[in-house]
Structure 1
């Protein structure tokens, strides 16, 4: 097996963590076709994304504590097996309601990768080093939103949307084998927590009342909301409103993924000279500027794919700077409860994502304006969270004042 600090272990973790996001990104080009096949309206089709986010959020609350009790590997493997089975169910769905059900089950399994990937990094590294490793991890994961929509668009154009879920199932089964053979168990026996309801509630109460955790988590959740507002609305805006061909949709979203990758690279490089909270502030300012540009262009009725994609790429660059800092900061105070802390962080992130995504679906008016405004509001809330909470309750070693 590989050493936990090996770059190959980081690559394998990135591949495992990418499973959950892939279930979102790969099928985005298929949303209009799914609606046509099932004679479903925009809200019903968009709910296949929202129900996934809801299941993803809820499952993490159990997945994290289970991993704190039984170890990271068995829970991650079990989650991926469930993901594979549910993906096959999605492929065989005969109506939109059945697809909703299997998307929910798919999310229950898919939550294991991201929540336990974060926990494993916290198991192995100190809080400050964890921010750097999470940035590297996120940079590798940027390949998923770059490649997955392109692959999904190709499948929709040449075969059928059902095959997208077959590919997801195959990927999950490959990851089961890789994790079982390649990654050692990172959780030390003396750090294992009992899986009892009363203990679970005490742990969540302790985590949820920690002001450092609250500050970084709410800031992260707001930016996640902006990210998923785009993911929820992009297919309808770019394909239905702006006339982008489904097979070209992935190329546009790949540009936004490049923005995310560049943000991650900037985060890693800036970490040599700046404290994490300084990088976080620069990232939040970038997301707000990007959202405002997109909203202004939409308000001026400049309906062009580039008026959406380029501002979103800038937003994603800011997101690539924000998320590693907020994730590491949220987990900093909980070295022995990293699974539970990661689970609660993920739950709140996905709750914000589900709300933002649902609002885009409900309020969609046939223009890019609704999506752009929601992205801008989310970026504003993220900056407010930083100014009023993160600055007052910084994680150990994160505060900018220490650079003096």
Structure 2
């Protein structure tokens, strides 16, 4: 067994959290081919992404409370096994409807890795330490989406799109084995919560009426909506409209991921000098600039690959700076129900992402315009949530130091 605070445990948590981006990013180059093979329109193919997000969101509301009662480790192992089995089902699907169903089931199991990986960080570290560790975790985890589209494109070209899902199944089985063998249980028994419906509802009620939790969660969700608007529309914009080869899609996608990693590293470095909310504001401003630039270029009819990739890379630098701090802020006040808090945080995040992705699929006109407009709108909404909620009530431990006798409000 690894020590809870060891680098090996951090790497293992990163591998579990990476299930989410791997399952969304690895098959992106195959979306046009899946549509052609099943004779399905863009909206039906895009549903394989949106239904994944819906399943991911709903499952978190269950696996979070289960993990608060029984511990993180057994729920993670069970969930990731379900993910692996559903991935095999995706590979064997013979219709777009079967693929959609298996993607939903894949998400139900796969949600255990990211939501409980985040909760485990809160179990192990203090709120301010968690912001730094989550930023490091995110930069490690970002290697997955950096490599996933390129690997997916190579598998698509050589073996066909079902091989992508078989590779995901193999990854899930590997992570399950490593967690079973190497990770100690991070949740102390003193923090275990009873599994009673009334108790769960009270926990969720406590969270949804907490202004601090809502502020950080909604700010995060809006930025995540912008990210998934890009994931939903990028393959159709870059491959179908701008003529990028599917096997080269991952190379352009990697530029965006590099931006996210740079934002994560900046967040971790700045956390030693600045308050978490100061880092969050800087990230928001960068994201708004990137989203706005893409929308302006699209409205002006500048239709090139770099008119999409460079602004999105800037957006992702901002996202990488703010997302770890938003998560740490949302969980800061809830050490005894971090699983439920992480679950509701993830539910709202994925619900908004699913809505943004579905909106891109519904309104897509073949050009970058719809995708760019939704990304810019999401960034602006995130800034509004921060100004209206977070700035008024920062999380405990995130506030500036006050002079003696100064009001906390």
TM-score for the superposition, normalised by structure 2? 0.98
1:273-310 per-residue CA deviation (whole Å, 9 max, x = no partner) reads: 10000000000000000001001111111111111011
Q: Which residue is 2:140 aligned to?
A: 140
1:397 to partner: Cα distance: 2.3
CA contact (8 A) 1:276 1:400 kept: no
Q: Distance in 2 between matches of 1:305 and 1:117?
A: 35
State the 1:400 CA deviation: 4.7
Provide the rounded CA distance (Å) in 2 between the counterparts of 1:289 and 1:397.
29
For structure 2, the residue ranges without an aligned partner over 5 or more in a row are 404-409
For 1:251 and 1:99, the matched residues in 2 are separated by 26
SS at match of 1:365: coil
**Counterparts of 1:396 and 1:205 in 2: how far apart (Å)?**
19
Question: Which position in structure 1 is the counterpart of 2:13?
Answer: 13
CA distance in 2, matches of 1:395, 1:161: 44
Displaced runs of 4+ in structure 1, greater than 3 A? 400-403
Say which SS state the counterpart of residue 225 (structure 2) adopts: helix
Deviations 1:239-267 (A, max 9, x none): 00100000000000001000000001111
* Residue 402 (structure 1) shift: 5.9
Cα distance change of structure 1 residues 242 and 199 upon mapping to structure 2, 3 Å threshold: same
Distance in 1, Cα, partners of 2:49 & 2:20: 12
User: Counterpart of 1:265?
Assistant: 265
CA contact (8 A) 1:278 1:400 kept: no
Q: Does 1:235 align with 2:235?
A: yes
Q: How much does 1:401 deviate? A: 6.3
Once the two structures are overlaid, the 10-residue window that deviates more, 295-304 or 346-355, is: 295-304
| Cα displacement (A) at 1:349 | 0.1
How far apart are residue 399 of structure 1 and its match?
Answer: 2.9
Q: Relative to structure 1, is the Cα distance of residues 269 and 36 closer, same or farther in structure 2, using a 3 angstrom cutoff? A: same
- 1:355 is aligned to 355
Q: CA RMSD in A?
A: 0.9
User: In structure 1, the residue corresponding to 2:334 is in which secondary structure?
Assistant: coil
Say whether 1:304 aligns with 2:304.
yes
**Over residues 90-123 of structure 1, what are the superposed CA-to-partner deviations in whole Å (9 max), with x where a residue is unaligned?**
0000000000100000000010011001100000
Alpha-carbon distance, 1:158 to partner? 1.4
Looking at structure 1, the residues matched to 304 and 158 of structure 2 have their Cα atoms a distance apart, in angstroms, of 26
Determine the C-alpha separation between the residues in 1 that align with 2:400 and 2:191: 31
- For residues 64-75 of structure 1, the aligned pairs below 5 Å read 64-75=64-75
Q: Which residue of 1 aligns with 2:39?
A: 39
Distance between the aligned counterparts of 1:171 and 1:107, measured in 2?
A: 15
Q: Does the residue aligned with 2:335 lie in a helix, a strand or coil?
A: coil
Aligned to 1:345: 345
Residue 86 of structure 1 aligns with which residue?
A: 86
Q: Which residue of 1 aligns with 2:407?
A: none
- In structure 2, the partner of 1:129 is 129
CA distance in 2, matches of 1:112, 1:64: 8
In structure 2, the partner of 1:391 is 391
Match of 2:207 in 1: 207
Q: Is 1:181 matched up with 2:181?
A: yes
- Is 2:368 the partner of 1:377? no
Q: Distance in 2 between matches of 1:277 and 1:240?
A: 40
Corresponding position of 1:164 = 164
Q: 2:105 corresponds to which residue?
A: 105
